Amino acid sequence: MTNLQTTISKVTVFRDAARVTRTGKVKLEPGPHKVLVTGITNYAQTDSFRVKGRGPAKLSSIDVQSATEVYEPSADIKPLYDELKELERKRINIQDEIEFQQNRLVQVNSITVEFSNHFGMVYAANEGDIKSFTEMDKKSAKLASDIQQDIRKLNEELEEIDNKMQVLRNNIGKINSERKTVSTYSVEVSLEVSSASDIELDVTYQTGGAAWAPRYDVDLLPEKAKLRRLAMVTNQTQEDWAEIDLIVSTATARPVEAVEGRPFFITAYDPATMVRPAPKSGRRDRMPKPSMRMKAAAVGGYAPPAPPPEIVEEFAEALETVSGIAVYELPKKMSIPSDNERHPVTLIEEELESSTIHYWYAEGMAEVVAQDEVVNNDSVILPGKMKVFSEGDYIGETSVGQISPREEFKIGTRVAYDVKAEKKLAERDMEKAGVLRGKLRRSYKYKLEIQSFSKRKIKIEVFDRVPHSVSTQIEIKIDWEKLAAAKHELGVIEWHRELEPNEKKNIEYDYEVVWEKDVTISPPLP
């Protein structure tokens, strides 16, 4: 049996596992040989082991075996146990002494009380002297004080011994915790070597305890977006990855199932009538104002020194495989220890097609916001957190769902300080009962004012709403053709506008609400 020393040379990290390759070289003479590779993590899957090699030999078989080894603590704990036993013996003696002194104190107090009671009768019969009573009282008080002082000292010694014993127990427990049982796998490889030569073997296996989570940085620029992909790699395989070729794959190691369709049977049911409240407008976090960029001017008659060159970053090579799975091959060797940390690995930085769209919902937003419509490239964007910048200025952090290759998505919602918008009530009129044969009518006229202060031409999507009646007793009258809206549904109106720099545009519309005079509208009209 020949032991082969191997080192981890290549790792492919999946989203929930890793494929590890160990490489080793050994010189063998002609004939049959058994080569043993040991020390493989017990997280490895036994049915995933594969062996390849280079050299004048034929591979006969491989056998995967499990091994268990117990590691004893290096420190000798017998002196600690001996010291602990000695302290326990001293503690017992001190407790006995404390009990003895407490009994003495009880006896002294009893004698004092008995003497006081008896002396009263003796003194009444003129057979005793008061000086004797005073002397007895002083002596008994001093004796009781001495006993109490001895008890205090003994309690202090007992506390000190207890502290020492606790320290010893902690040290013994710490040493015992170093005793551990480690389970590993070993691979026995059977070879038939034709001529004396160096035989190099690659042992590949799949292991748990490894994963990676995506992180993104996106910088939104005019007409493009720079997306940087990062992988937060976790290595808890109990094997350190030192100077390895690292590959990050968007594939998963778990099995995937195609679920067959099943019939969906329904039957008639008469539910109670329920009125669902209208959904509240979504919460919109206010984004921080972008910081101002200052440019320093040259002072004096000479040119300022040339700035130092920017640091050049190296990125991985991205390859798209079947079903949109992306594989990133890192250009340099990486080292990732086995620990509980997440290690950031920069994958690639790419430019995506992007266009800025402004958005304003007049009924629910006091300010216009801007978003970027970005078209993904050929690599899938997995669900993860994304830090968003606008021309280098930090906007905030958000989360994105899975975005397929070449799919369009919106990102970077932020306050647009270069566009101003305001909704104004131009006219409101209320007709009295009887004018419309027992009906009431209220008419409204609104004006939406939008002005651009941007240096570039902008596109803006404007939304507003009018009441939508679900009752036949309430009628909403509006001229939809005159409205010239891009879309309207259930009273929600959408306009698309383009504004040149410093251009101002207005959107005007009006509508009427007519209802029976005995009907109460809920919620009330504005």
Peptide linkage before 523 cis (omega within 30 of 0):
yes
Please give the full DSSP string across 13-40, using - where no structure is assigned. Answer: E-SS-EEEEEEEEEEE-SEEEEEEEEEE
Q: Of 208, 225, 255, which residue sits at a domain end?
A: 208
432 in the same domain as 507: yes
Is residue 350 in some structural domain? no
H runs (alpha helix) in 125-211: 130-177
If residue 257 lies in a helix (H) or strand (E), which one and from where to where?
none
95 in the same domain as 50: no
Is residue 231 in some structural domain? no
Per the structure, the count of domains in the chain is 3
138 in the same domain as 55: no
Does residue 255 sit in helix, strand or coil?
coil
193 in the same domain as 168: no
Q: Of 157, 192, 208, which residue sits at a domain end?
A: 208
Backbone angles phi, psi at 444, to 5 degrees: -135, 150
Cβ neighbours of residue 473 closer than 8 Å, sequence gap 6 or more: 515, 516, 519
Average pLDDT per block of 10 residues along the chain, 526 residues long: 92 94 93 92 92 90 84 68 87 88 84 70 61 73 86 89 87 70 87 90 94 93 90 93 93 76 67 48 42 36 52 56 74 91 91 91 90 88 90 87 89 88 89 64 93 90 91 88 89 92 92 87 86
HSE-CB at 404 with a 13 A cutoff on CA atoms is: 3
Residue that is written with structure tokens 């209208």 in the block: 278
Asked if 497 and 460 touch (Cβ cutoff 8 Å), the reply is: yes
Residues linked to residue 212 through DSSP beta bridges, in sequence order = 233
Is residue 426 in some structural domain? yes
87 in the same domain as 49: no
35 in the same domain as 104: no
CA pair distance 465, 463, nearest whole angstrom:
7
Is residue 132 in some structural domain? yes
User: Which pLDDT does position 124 carry in this prediction?
Assistant: 60
Cα 431 off chain centre by: 59
56 in the same domain as 34: yes
Residues linked to residue 423 through DSSP beta bridges, in sequence order = 448
Burial class from Cβ neighbours inside 10 Å (0-12, 13-18, 19+) for residue 335 reads exposed
159 in the same domain as 104: yes
512 in the same domain as 444: yes
Is residue 194 in some structural domain? yes
Is residue 414 in some structural domain? no
159 in the same domain as 26: no
* Total Cβ atoms within 10 A of residue 121: 10
User: Which pLDDT does position 385 carry in this prediction?
Assistant: 92
Asked if 462 and 495 touch (Cβ cutoff 8 Å), the reply is: yes
CA pair distance 237, 41, nearest whole angstrom:
7
Is residue 333 in some structural domain? no
512 in the same domain as 424: yes
129 in the same domain as 47: no
Is residue 113 in some structural domain? yes
CA pair distance 33, 190, nearest whole angstrom:
6
Backbone angles phi, psi at 427, to 5 degrees: -160, 140
> Domain of 198?
2-72+180-208
Residue that is written with structure tokens 């890793």 in the block: 18
CA pair distance 218, 213, nearest whole angstrom:
17
Asked if 45 and 205 touch (Cβ cutoff 8 Å), the reply is: yes
User: Which pLDDT does position 387 carry in this prediction?
Assistant: 92
Show the 3-state SS of 274-287: CCCCCCCCCCCCCC
